[in-house]
Protein backbone atom coordinates (compact mmCIF):
# COMPACT_ATOMS: atom_id res chain seq x y z
CA UNK A 1 0.00 0.00 0.00
CA UNK A 2 1.54 3.29 -1.05
CA UNK A 3 1.19 6.46 0.94
CA UNK A 4 0.74 9.84 -0.71
CA UNK A 5 3.71 12.16 -0.64
CA UNK A 6 3.42 14.75 2.13
CA UNK A 7 2.46 18.21 0.92
CA UNK A 8 5.35 20.56 1.41
CA UNK A 9 4.57 24.12 2.42
CA UNK A 10 4.93 26.96 -0.04
CA UNK A 11 7.09 29.90 1.02
CA UNK A 12 6.64 33.38 -0.43
CA UNK A 13 9.67 35.60 0.18
CA UNK A 14 9.39 39.32 -0.56
CA UNK A 15 12.26 41.83 -0.38
CA UNK A 16 11.75 45.60 -0.64
CA UNK A 17 13.87 48.63 -1.35
CA UNK A 18 12.05 51.86 -0.63
CA UNK A 19 12.51 55.11 -2.53
CA UNK A 20 14.98 57.55 -0.97
CA UNK A 21 12.05 59.95 -0.58
CA UNK A 22 10.09 57.49 1.60
CA UNK A 23 9.77 58.72 5.16
CA UNK A 24 10.19 56.58 8.27
CA UNK A 25 6.48 56.89 9.06
CA UNK A 26 5.49 55.77 5.55
CA UNK A 27 7.77 52.74 5.82
CA UNK A 28 6.41 51.88 9.28
CA UNK A 29 2.87 52.08 7.85
CA UNK A 30 3.86 49.59 5.12
CA UNK A 31 5.41 47.22 7.66
CA UNK A 32 2.19 47.24 9.67
CA UNK A 33 -0.04 46.95 6.60
CA UNK A 34 1.88 43.95 5.29
CA UNK A 35 1.73 42.15 8.64
CA UNK A 36 -2.01 42.94 8.92
CA UNK A 37 -2.59 40.72 5.86
CA UNK A 38 -2.18 37.69 8.17
CA UNK A 39 -5.49 38.54 9.87
CA UNK A 40 -7.23 39.40 6.58
CA UNK A 41 -6.24 36.44 4.40
CA UNK A 42 -6.91 33.11 6.05
CA UNK A 43 -4.72 31.01 3.74
CA UNK A 44 -1.58 32.62 5.23
CA UNK A 45 -0.39 30.02 7.72
CA UNK A 46 2.45 32.04 9.15
CA UNK A 47 4.27 35.27 8.49
CA UNK A 48 7.39 37.03 9.70
CA UNK A 49 9.45 40.02 8.71
CA UNK A 50 12.56 41.97 9.53
CA UNK A 51 14.98 44.64 8.37
CA UNK A 52 18.37 43.85 6.89
CA UNK A 53 21.09 43.51 9.53
CA UNK A 54 23.65 41.65 7.42
CA UNK A 55 27.23 42.89 7.79
CA UNK A 56 28.13 41.51 4.33
CA UNK A 57 26.82 44.47 2.31
CA UNK A 58 25.29 42.20 -0.34
CA UNK A 59 21.67 43.35 0.00
CA UNK A 60 21.78 45.47 -3.19
CA UNK A 61 19.73 48.23 -1.54
CA UNK A 62 17.02 45.88 -0.27
CA UNK A 63 16.15 46.71 3.32
CA UNK A 64 13.06 44.71 4.31
CA UNK A 65 12.29 40.99 4.12
CA UNK A 66 8.89 39.34 4.54
CA UNK A 67 8.29 35.60 4.60
CA UNK A 68 4.84 34.06 4.22
CA UNK A 69 3.99 30.37 4.47
CA UNK A 70 1.07 28.67 2.74
CA UNK A 71 0.02 25.04 3.10
CA UNK A 72 0.15 24.53 -0.64
CA UNK A 73 0.36 26.16 -4.04
CA UNK A 74 -3.40 26.69 -3.90
CA UNK A 75 -2.98 28.93 -0.85
CA UNK A 76 -0.49 31.11 -2.68
CA UNK A 77 -2.80 31.22 -5.70
CA UNK A 78 -5.64 32.46 -3.46
CA UNK A 79 -3.40 35.03 -1.76
CA UNK A 80 -2.04 36.75 -4.85
CA UNK A 81 -5.38 38.07 -6.26
CA UNK A 82 -6.99 38.56 -2.83
CA UNK A 83 -8.50 42.08 -2.50
CA UNK A 84 -6.55 42.77 0.71
CA UNK A 85 -3.27 41.87 -1.00
CA UNK A 86 -4.18 44.02 -4.00
CA UNK A 87 -5.03 46.97 -1.73
CA UNK A 88 -1.69 46.56 0.05
CA UNK A 89 0.09 46.73 -3.31
CA UNK A 90 -1.67 50.01 -4.08
CA UNK A 91 -0.56 51.44 -0.72
CA UNK A 92 3.03 50.26 -1.27
CA UNK A 93 3.54 51.33 -4.88
CA UNK A 94 4.13 55.09 -4.32
CA UNK A 95 7.16 54.52 -2.04
CA UNK A 96 8.57 51.30 -3.53
CA UNK A 97 11.83 51.50 -5.45
CA UNK A 98 12.32 47.78 -6.05
CA UNK A 99 10.84 44.44 -5.02
CA UNK A 100 12.22 40.93 -5.36
CA UNK A 101 9.86 37.97 -4.91
CA UNK A 102 10.85 34.34 -4.63
CA UNK A 103 8.43 31.46 -4.11
CA UNK A 104 9.62 27.97 -3.29
CA UNK A 105 8.37 24.63 -2.08
CA UNK A 106 10.01 24.01 1.30
CA UNK A 107 12.13 20.88 1.32
CA UNK A 108 13.04 19.59 4.77
CA UNK A 109 16.67 18.88 5.53
CA UNK A 110 16.92 15.45 7.11
CA UNK A 111 19.69 14.14 9.31
Report the CATH number that the domain containing residue 99 is assigned in CATH. Answer: 3.30.70.100
Q: Is residue 7 part of a domain?
A: no
- At residue 100, the pLDDT reads 98
Range of the domain at 53: 19-104
- At residue 107, the pLDDT reads 86
1: pLDDT confidence band, cut at 50, 70 and 90?
low
Q: Is residue 110 part of a domain?
A: no
Is 107 in a helix, a strand, or coil? Answer: coil
Q: Is residue 74 part of a domain?
A: yes
Q: Is residue 13 part of a domain?
A: no
> d(Cα 106, Cα 11) in Å, to the nearest integer?
7
pTM above 0.85, yes or no: yes
- At residue 102, the pLDDT reads 97
Mean pLDDT of all residues belonging to the chain: 93
108: pLDDT confidence band, cut at 50, 70 and 90?
confident
Q: Is residue 77 part of a domain?
A: yes
Number of domains in the chain: 1
Q: Is residue 76 part of a domain?
A: yes
Q: Is residue 69 part of a domain?
A: yes
Q: Is residue 41 part of a domain?
A: yes
3: pLDDT confidence band, cut at 50, 70 and 90?
very low
Is 35 in a helix, a strand, or coil? Answer: helix
Closest CA to 34 of 70, 73, 67: 67
Closest CA to 66 of 29, 106, 105, 102: 102
- At residue 110, the pLDDT reads 82
pLDDT tens column, 16-61: 999 999 999 999 999 999 999 999 999 999 999 999 999 999 999 9
- When pLDDT is averaged across residues 61-77 and rounded to a whole number, the result is 96
Amino acid sequence: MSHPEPRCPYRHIVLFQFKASAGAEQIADIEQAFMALKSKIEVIESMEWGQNVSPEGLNDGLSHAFSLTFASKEGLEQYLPHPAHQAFGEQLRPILEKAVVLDYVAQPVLG
